[in-house]
Structure 1
Amino acid sequence: MLRFHDLSNKELIDLSTGTRLGVLGQTDLEINEKTGQIISFTIPQYRMFGLKKTETYSRIEWKQIKKIGDDMIIVETNK
């Protein structure tokens, strides 16, 4: 079983583009209240060297995760 603490510092990397999407600990989680399972991550978009958050967000569904490694989480987006 994985704990959120074990995942929180991992980088989210898009498999199709190789781009860094963010760090899991800096995201919002959507959780199923009945089961406690994670449904998705909402990743804020930053600009100006990561200092200012924009109003744009990316949503990554749990089923888009392809691999969880020691330092990163590989996801496949539909972009």
Structure 2
Amino acid sequence: MRISEMAGKEVINLGDGARLGTIGECELTFDSQTGAISGLILPKPKTVFQFLNDRQITTIPWQAIRRIGDEVVIVDLNNAYDRMYSRFSRE
């Protein structure tokens, strides 16, 4: 699948059902050694009270993506962060 085919899809967290953003607004991060996509950076949706604040972001590891559907991308951030922290604590 091309990233352009993912444009406009909502990103939803499997753990709590939170809407994290839209793929069209995201940036990609890459592994500098392999060139593979390592994650997505999504701007958090702003509320009325946040329009003066700096832009907040959500970083989604590529391994956290569970399913890409017709309209949504399901991610599991809870398990992805648990795996990342356990990997770093062993090193």
TM-score category, normalised to shorter length:
0.7 to 0.9
User: In 2, are the aligned partners of 1:10 and 1:71 still within 8 Å (CA)?
Assistant: yes
What is the aligned-residue RMSD (CA, Å)? 2.2
Task: Identify the residue that residue 36 of structure 2 maps to in structure 1.
Answer: 37
Secondary structure of 1:46 counterpart: coil
Task: Identify the residue that residue 19 of structure 1 maps to in structure 2.
Answer: 18
Which structure has more helix as a fraction of its residues? 2
Which structure has more strand as a fraction of its residues? 1
Percent of aligned pairs with the same amino acid: 31
Q: Please give the residue correspondences for 1:1-79 in structure 2 after superposition, counting only pairs within 5 Å.
A: 2-33=1-32, 35-49=34-48, 52=51, 54-78=54-78
Give me the TM-score of the superposition, normalised by structure 1. 0.80
CA offset at residue 48 of structure 1? 2.6
Give me the TM-score of the superposition, normalised by structure 2. 0.71
CA offset at residue 9 of structure 1? 1.3
Structure of larger gyration radius: 2
CA displacement, residues 50-73 of structure 1 (integer Å, 9 cap, x when unaligned): x83733211101100011100000
Q: Taking structure 1 as reference, are residues 9 and 46 closer, same or farther at Cα in structure 2, changes over 3 Å only? A: closer
Q: Show structure 2 runs of 5+ residues with no match.
A: 82-91
Q: Show structure 1 runs of 5+ residues with no match.
A: none
